[in-house]
Amino acid sequence: MEPATDNSSGDKSKSDSTLDSALAKVPTPESSNSKEFPSTIPGNIKAKPRKHGIKRLAIVILAVLLLVGLGGGIYWFFPGDYKTRVCKGDLLTSARKAFDDKDFTAALKVVSEITQEIDYVQDPNCLYVTLNYSLMFNMTPSSTELTSFNRLYNPWKGLDRLLGVSRFQIGTFRTKVQHVIDSAPKADPTESVDTNGIRQPDLNDIDSQASGNQGEQQ
């Protein structure tokens, strides 16, 4: 009987050679030209800017701006109305005709009808008529009415088209009215007006003068 041969050493050497050949195929950092081993670690790769994303964002912003501009244009040419409307229709038509004809009697009739309405001071259309009436016929406009007009007037809404006044004319109109108010002679503060419209000296000044005279006599 032949003695049994030990194959363990041969199997070990065979497995070692197989492991060496497998390791030889693994790419190393030195083999930078190898297609199998990237020259840059994936975790350190910097992301390139997304050109398509920027373009899409720019398109969206442009579209929003166009919509806003379109909405503003529609609101400019087709404005809403004021909350309080007293002057409209035939009343404004009559006012415009009276101003165009410089007809004082007709204008006075319109203004008298407007001022009978309590809420006329809440309607810039009414206030324009009353202010323009004073301006056209050489009277001092009311500073209170001008203040109310400046507060209520909305350039986006403008005035009623029946008046025939564009938004671009309102600036000049305001300047003229303010100039007339500022140029009007100021009332003497030492005088007061009685029920008959006669200007009289202020009673406070009379009392102070009387007190001064009594002190001198003592």
Say whether pLDDT at 6 is over 60.
no
How many Å apart are CA 171 and CA 150, to the nearest integer? 10
In a domain, 173, yes or no: yes
In a domain, 166, yes or no: yes
Comparing C-alpha atoms, which of 169, 71, 65, 180 is closest to residue 133?
180
In a domain, 179, yes or no: yes
Structure-model confidence comparison of residues 206 and 121, the more confident one: 121
pLDDT in tens, 133-169: 999 999 999 999 999 999 999 988 899 999 999 989 9
For every residue of 67-122, DSSP letters joined together read: HHHHHHHHHHHS----S---S-THHHHHHHHHHHHT-HHHHHHHHHHHHTSGGGGG
For every residue of 195-211, DSSP letters joined together read: TTS-EEE-HHHHHHHHH
Rounded to whole angstroms, what are the CA distances from 75 to 80, 170, 216?
Answer: 8, 18, 73
pTM confidence score: 0.53
How many Å apart are CA 116 and CA 87, to the nearest integer? 12
pLDDT in tens, 175-190: 999 999 999 887 654 4
In a domain, 78, yes or no: no
In a domain, 73, yes or no: no
Residue range of the domain that includes 139: 90-183
Residue 204 pLDDT grade (very low, low, confident, very high; cuts 50, 70, 90): very low
How many Å apart are CA 24 and CA 102, to the nearest integer? 109
In a domain, 192, yes or no: no
pLDDT in tens, 112-136: 999 999 999 999 999 999 999 999 9
Q: Give the count of domains, the chain.
A: 1
In a domain, 150, yes or no: yes
Averaged pLDDT score across all residues of the chain: 74
In a domain, 84, yes or no: no
